[in-house]
Structure 1
């Protein structure tokens, strides 16, 4: 926790340093420092001048000047050593419990009383080598460590220089507990699987599969409507959102040292998404908030410069997503109380960061703003209980009371309306999955694009059979007028069987049926195709083969066939999962996805259901600090 005393000490250093820089006074040169590096003379007129301008007692000013002089000499020595030997000096702040194994660190002369480790190392070494050295110095296993620099996890295989680490860089060491380390190892395995695209593709594919509700992934806008995204965008966003949710889950369990690396991994994936997508959803703004929230819990908010930038990005994303003064959100949802909780955290963090930057007026401004919003969202405990006794969950009750400004009847109305909206969105999502599945079954046109479901249903409404309608659109490349001409010129299409799921049909085909058709002189592959297209009806399959003179069209590429595992280049993400994988590999993928989604929230409003208890405590803490400064 920051104190008024420590803040004043930091503030004095900042003011004197700024004054020295402004007047270009170099304390490491004579007369302030002798040629052999010893303390020189500090001109009395300089001391009197600064004491008057900075309103600082002369003895305190001299102590501050000496502290800055020694620090400047240390920086020069580190720079000279780096230039001569190539050894960079790094400062590593230690965060987290080391379960009593850090006796070595406590005895080490390189570890300061503020739990900061000083190390010298070549920037050509890899992140893994740095991690091993730090783990050895601190005295914990390497798998219980994570190192962060400028908002990025220091990776293993690349050099420190390639990762932007410089001489004098400040790093953060996260010391994981044994439990956190095990969870981190599992997460790394899952992340590695997802980075090879298998898990992300599988997750995206299952979200679009009408018959697979085991893992339901929905990406929606502020009104809850599902977003239609290109496959690559969907995969990138699914991966980013999943890692974010895993990090939020760890944060809820107070496992901050585990949460932060997961959130930073999510940040990396979000940056691969287009700017247009990120402004359609508020996920990235919330992610930036969650990362800075971790910094605060690690008591490292003043030492990570990207905290300011992340809060700026969060505010910009909220403005684009919700509109200035929440105007767009009001137009879409009719209320702003639920999302206002995010603004409480945003403004509180902005106030805390401003405090640690010694910007007192700005800190006052944001802290007061957060307090006003917090007071507005305060929910009466008795009213909350009364709503819950009506059969509603605590989350529903809390969010509804915030949305209705504490009105009981308004809260009940809000809950019922939200339940209807959620059911409506579920129906829409299900209809969309059904439409996508039908498009897969209908197959591709001659040009390689999917048969247009709307055009297909238009032909059905005109009275044409399903099989004929699908085939006509395939031949006409989705042009309805040309499809009508195809149907007029080829009446034999009217007898085609209705489209079906070929993969399901192939699985049901018996060798006995295939053998009967082969005995009639037809090719084995053509026999399987005919049986698949006719739901294993032997008579219809034979007639189909006779009409087509023994040549059946290939089954839709994305479903594969019994003798081929190739896929079309234009197939969606579900098709890119290799059908040649063994049952063991498929089971491993299923287990990986199962672990991945095990503790993900089912309610899309989970991220705005902040109790605001911690926010209230921190607000009072920093209000007290500001009041103490005023008294001082």
Structure 2
């Protein structure tokens, strides 16, 4: 049921109406005709498809209310008064149908539901309190499920990002990665095999089952880990130097204790606890440091990762994630119809005054 384009047409004309710009009148009529045709194609005749997909609920009523109101307004300004009155009268009936009784709203809110939840549920169920309760429960269950799925998807995306990109700038195929892990290969090892083979499962499997190429991949992964460790140590040294300590003393302290906290205690002359304890900076304590530590230029070119840089933002992936985290299937139908109600009354009054002339 794809109704995005018809909804966009209606929203565009609604903007014309809110701006009170009747210069767009002819275009508004064309857009509304296309919207009605598109909605019937998507929703089925008399919204039968919506009823089926939404288990008998009525999410589409506010949308059709707005459509009929706008059709009535366009007809009025085109001097088609009978057509305008018919459209506005139908819109008014839908408006009254969407009015939520205060006692029903209070009852649902007393059960612990929010006002927004209660109003939406009562409108979706034509004011049936019991079905409204069921609707809210189902919506909460779906929301919790989406939340869990979003969290899992976010974890997968961040994990995928950690593995870097293939030479052709593609992300590692997580499904094929799972298949290789299922066969007994370590995840980092399998991911690197897929990355360097453009996600070709068979080629990656060949490399993983070949002792020579497998050993080469393992050495490469180990070099990446060492690179990240050295980068962490370099960052710690630069941070301590920026605090005013002499670089040679900082390098010596970090080499001896491995962590920022312990090195800082030593530099400040405070008692130093067990140097085998690591801190929250994630730098392994007592890490082996060579004489070149303390400068990022000491990194060998062979350690450079051909995939994505550790600090580089993957904007495309982040945008995809954001889109996935902001979904609400009923948001386009959950319209607050107060302004529509005022407009219906206004134009019906104008039609009444014309009829008296």
TM-score by length of 2: 0.68
Cα gap change, 1:559/1:625 in structure 2, threshold over 3 Å: closer, same or farther? same
Please, which of 69, 77, 96 is the counterpart of residue 356 of structure 1? 77
Say which structure is richer in strand: 1
Tell me the CA shift for residue 354 of structure 1: 0.1
Cα gap change, 1:477/1:512 in structure 2, threshold over 3 Å: closer, same or farther? same
Alignment of 1:151-230 (within 5 A): none
Cα gap change, 1:504/1:379 in structure 2, threshold over 3 Å: closer, same or farther? farther
Say which structure is richer in helix: 2
Cα gap change, 1:439/1:328 in structure 2, threshold over 3 Å: closer, same or farther? farther
Please, which of 1, 5, 8 is the counterpart of residue 284 of structure 1? 8
Deviation per CA, 1:491-512, whole angstroms, max 9, x where unpaired? 3135665899999867633268
Q: Which residue number in structure 2 is paired with residue 387 of structure 1?
A: 108
Q: Which residue number in structure 2 is paired with residue 412 of structure 1?
A: 133
1:441·1:502 contact (CA, 8 Å) conserved in 2? no
Q: Which residue number in structure 1 is paired with residue 305 of structure 2?
A: 554
Q: Could you tell me how far apart the structure 1 residues matched to 2:32 and 2:89 are?
A: 17
Q: Could you tell me how far apart the structure 1 residues matched to 2:53 and 2:230 are?
A: 47
2:10·2:31 contact (CA, 8 Å) conserved in 1? no
1:456·1:470 contact (CA, 8 Å) conserved in 2? yes
Alignment of 1:33-44 (within 5 A): none
Q: Which residue number in structure 1 is paired with residue 182 of structure 2?
A: 461
Please, which of 316, 337, 342 is the counterpart of residue 573 of structure 1? 316
Give the total of aligned pairs. Answer: 298
Q: Could you tell me how far apart the structure 1 residues matched to 2:194 and 2:208 are?
A: 10
Tell me the CA shift for residue 419 of structure 1: 1.1
Q: Could you tell me how far apart the structure 2 residues matched to 1:426 and 1:626 are?
A: 49
Tell me the CA shift for residue 463 of structure 1: 1.4
Q: Which residue number in structure 2 is paired with residue 491 of structure 1?
A: 214
1:397·1:411 contact (CA, 8 Å) conserved in 2? yes
SS of the equivalent of 1:415 reads helix
Cα gap change, 1:511/1:316 in structure 2, threshold over 3 Å: closer, same or farther? same
1:400·1:415 contact (CA, 8 Å) conserved in 2? yes
CA RMSD of aligned residues (A): 4.1
1:612 maps onto 2:337 in alignment: yes
Tell me the CA shift for residue 303 of structure 1: 6.5
Which stretches in structure 2 are left out of the alignment for 5+ residues?
Answer: 239-250, 253-281, 291-299, 320-325
Greater RCO, CA 8 A, separation 6+: 2
Tell me the CA shift for residue 469 of structure 1: 0.5
Q: Which residue number in structure 2 is paired with residue 371 of structure 1?
A: 92
Q: Could you tell me how far apart the structure 1 residues matched to 2:223 and 2:110 are?
A: 51
Tell me the CA shift for residue 378 of structure 1: 3.0
2:163·2:191 contact (CA, 8 Å) conserved in 1? yes
TM-score by length of 1: 0.41
Q: Which residue number in structure 1 is paired with residue 17 of structure 2?
A: 293
Tell me the CA shift for residue 308 of structure 1: 2.3
Cα gap change, 1:622/1:336 in structure 2, threshold over 3 Å: closer, same or farther? farther
Alignment of 1:318-329 (within 5 A): 318-319=39-40, 322-329=43-50
Which stretches in structure 1 are left out of the alignment for 5+ residues?
Answer: 1-221, 223-277, 517-534, 542-548, 577-600
